[in-house]
Amino acid sequence: MEQVLQQVAQTVEKQLDNELERLDTLDNSDLEVIRRQRIAEMKQRAIQKQEWLAMGHGEYSELSDEKEFFTVCNKSENVVCHFYRDDAPRCRIVDMHLRTLAKKHVETRFVKLNVERAPFLTGRLKVRVIPTIGLVKANKTTDFIVGFTELGNRDDFTTDLLEWRIARSQVIEYSGDLTLPPAEAKKQRALHIQSKKTIRGRKDSDSDLDSD
């Protein structure tokens, strides 16, 4: 394990060195082009964000019926829909997390729909367990999070875990590691940092010996 971590650390350092060398070779005209491209991207992103907000993104809203569900999916590229019932306590836990994620991920529309108001839709999607979260991309329901089984099968799962699970269906923008749950990824990063410190410590010790 120690040898593997050392190899990973060396690979990352090499990649960083290569990127720094590439930046050093750029002249002023290259940097100006990159700067203009970045500014254009930021402007386009700002325009896109305003369009999303105008469509109801950034808020966790309730749909009145299944007809409104289809309307929302026609307008928004990415939709997260919580199918709930008033008498299901776990649905309130989902509400809490999705309300937070809706504000963070304005690129996606977050909504909830009472299954009693949508018998045709829930039957068509085979929604049998409450709560169920439907993940819609390009007007197609591509994935479901059924109950809390994939969230540690516990009520006190974190918002980060739900965010990661939703991101695995590519309906939100996510900068983390999709191959590992957040808690596990955090452990791996800590091991990587510790490995780098160990490697550097050994190099310093070797240098001292060489000097002697």
137-191 pLDDT, tens digit each? 999 999 999 999 999 999 999 999 999 999 999 999 999 999 999 989 888 877 7
Contact 66, 120 (CB under 8 A): yes
Q: Band of the pLDDT at 206, cuts 50, 70, 90?
A: low
- Return the domain boundaries, the chain: 47-167
C-alpha distances in angstroms, 91 versus 83, 85, 135, 152? 8, 7, 16, 16
Superfamily of domain 47-167 in CATH is Glutaredoxin (3.40.30.10)
Q: What is the pTM of this model?
A: 0.74
Query: What is the overall mean pLDDT for the chain?
Result: 86
Mean pLDDT, to the nearest integer, of 191-205? 64
Comparing 29-33, 51-55, 80-84, 152-156, the range with the smallest average pLDDT is 29-33
